[in-house]
Amino acid sequence: MSRMIRGVIFDIDGVLEYQGKVYPNAADTIQRLRNGGLTVRFLTNSTLKSRASCARILREKGFIVFDHEVFTASSLTAAYLRLLRPRSCWIMLDGDGCDEFQDFRQDYENPEYIVMGDNRSCFDFYHLNKALRLLLKGARLIGMQSELIDTSMGNAELNVGSWVGMLERASGVRAIYIGKPNSFAFELALQSMALENKQVAMIGDRMTSDVMGASKIGLQTMLVTTGEFHPSDIKSDIQPDFIINSIQDVPDIILGS
């Protein structure tokens, strides 16, 4: 791996930090890779954060990160919508991630697309039933990511995929999911690096969203046993190239000790 890797894509929650706490030497790990000449990107399934707010939060925690290096599920979804050029959307989302969708026409009564992220303030009887009725009338459905449960802030919470999946089953409308493990998420980050697939390693704590998704497009993969990792995760047909115990192990593997 050390001879061929020229770039690294990092998941954030569970890899660089977890439940609000930064892992020891995580920021130093990023800097060691930069000093070694590697291109670095950050790919998260967070919908609440925009690229700018995610990068800012990481900088406040001691990381050297630039806005263009960060890809959030909300920014990825906005990029996908730009390809579709929709007539109108209902963006169901809270937080800074909403900043990514300022160029799109919002329509709460007859949208072409219902686009769902973490809309925690409006996941209620009224709004979910309204979304259901619009889907039954012909609206299309996009999920910013497909994960069902999130524990990154402590207690288990329903994640975006759970809410979108409920509407899929009720309406019969099949959703398009954008974030990891969808190949679109990895490919967009990869395009910004100007590197070949085999020259890039993905580092994550989830087999399903990080390792399997990256493996499908030919990236090298490292599974770190922190965050939401569980030993049962490795009982899979697809295996990571490396299993590591800490983010601190990455530079020695890629750059050599």
User: Tell me, what's the pLDDT at 20?
Assistant: 86
Distance between CA 62 and CA 69 in Å, rounded? Answer: 16
Number of neighbouring beta carbons within 10 Å of residue 114: 25
Look up the domain containing 209 and give its range: 7-45+181-255
Both tokens of 124, joined, read: 């209620």
Both tokens of 43, joined, read: 């790919």
Distance between CA 58 and CA 104 in Å, rounded? Answer: 28
Residue finishing a domain among 141, 160, 177: 177
Before 86, cis peptide (omega within 30)? no
Letter for the amino acid at 70?
A: V
User: Tell me, what's the pLDDT at 183?
Assistant: 96
The total number of structural domains in the chain stands at 2
Whether 185 and 173 share a structural domain: no
Of 17, 14, 40, the C-alpha closest to 202 is 40
DSSP 185-202: HHHHHHHTTT--GGGEEE
Distance between CA 193 and CA 206 in Å, rounded? Answer: 23
Whether 192 and 225 share a structural domain: yes
User: Tell me, what's the pLDDT at 109?
Assistant: 96
Whether 110 and 170 share a structural domain: yes
Residue 54: burial class (beta carbons within 10 Å; 0-12, 13-18, 19+): buried
Name the H helices within the chain. Answer: 26-35, 51-60, 73-84, 125-136, 160-171, 183-191, 212-216, 250-255
Whether 161 and 100 share a structural domain: yes
Whether 169 and 201 share a structural domain: no
Of 135, 123, 186, the C-alpha closest to 159 is 123
User: Tell me, what's the pLDDT at 3?
Assistant: 63
* 120 alpha-carbon distance from chain centroid: 18
pTM of the model: 0.94
User: Tell me, what's the pLDDT at 233?
Assistant: 80
Whether 90 and 167 share a structural domain: yes
Residue finishing a domain among 157, 177, 197: 177
Residue-by-residue pLDDT tens, the chain, 257 positions: 556 899 999 999 999 999 889 999 999 999 999 999 999 999 999 999 999 999 999 999 999 999 999 999 999 999 999 999 999 999 999 999 999 999 999 999 999 999 999 999 899 999 999 999 999 999 999 999 999 998 877 788 999 999 999 999 999 999 999 999 999 999 999 999 999 999 999 999 999 999 999 999 999 999 999 998 888 888 877 889 999 999 999 999 998 85
CB 217 within 8 A of CB 186: yes
Whether 95 and 22 share a structural domain: no
